[in-house]
Homo-oligomer: A and B are copies of this chain.
Amino acid sequence: MSDLESFRAETRAWLEANCPPEMREPVRDEDDACWGGRNFKFKNPAQKQWLDTMAAKGWTVPDWPKAFGGGGLTAEETKALRSEMAKLGCRTPLMSFGIWMLGPALLKFGTEEQKLHYLPQIARGEIRWCQGYSEPGSGSDLVSLQTFGEDKGDHWNVNGQKIWTSYANHADWIFCLVRTDKTNKYQGISFLLFDMTTPGVTTKPILLISGNSPFCETFFDNVKVPKHQIVGELNRGWDVAKYLLGHEREMISAGGNGDGMASIGAAFPDSAATEPVLRAQMAMFDVETIVFRAHSERFMDEWKSGRAHPAYSNLMKYVGTELNKTRHELVMAAGGSDALEWESRRSKGGARPRSWLRTKANSIEGGTSEVMLNVVSKRILDMPGG
User: Which of A123-131, A134-142, A273-281, A316-324 is the interface stretch?
Assistant: A273-281
What B residues does A276 contact at CB under 8 A? 276, 279-280
- List, in ascending order, chain B residues with CB within 8 A of A281's CB: 280
Distance of A277 Cα from B281 Cα, bound (Å): 8
Nearest residue in B to A281 (C-beta to C-beta)? B280
A27 CB–B CB distance under 8 Å: no
Check: A332 CB closer than 8 A to any chain B CB: no
Nearest Cβ in chain B — how far from A241, in angstroms?
A: 29
Interchain nearest-CB distance for A290 vs B (Å): 15
Q: Tell me the minimal C-beta distance from A285 to chain B in angstroms.
A: 11
Which chain A residues numbered 225 to 281 have a C-beta less than 8 Å away from chain B? 276-277, 279-281
A239 to B280: give the CA distance in the assembly, Å.
49
Interface string of A101-117 (1 = CB under 8 A from B): 00000000000000000
A283 within 8 A of B: yes
A1 CB within 8 Å of chain B:
no
A17 in the interface (beta carbon within 8 A)? no
Indicate whether A284 reaches chain B with its CB closer than 8 angstroms. yes
9 contacts between A and B (CB under 8 A): A276-B276, A276-B279, A276-B280, A277-B280, A277-B283, A277-B284, A279-B280, A280-B280, A280-B281
Which 8 residue pairs spanning A and B have beta carbons closest together? Answer: A280-B280, A277-B280, A277-B283, A276-B276, A276-B280, A277-B284, A280-B281, A276-B279
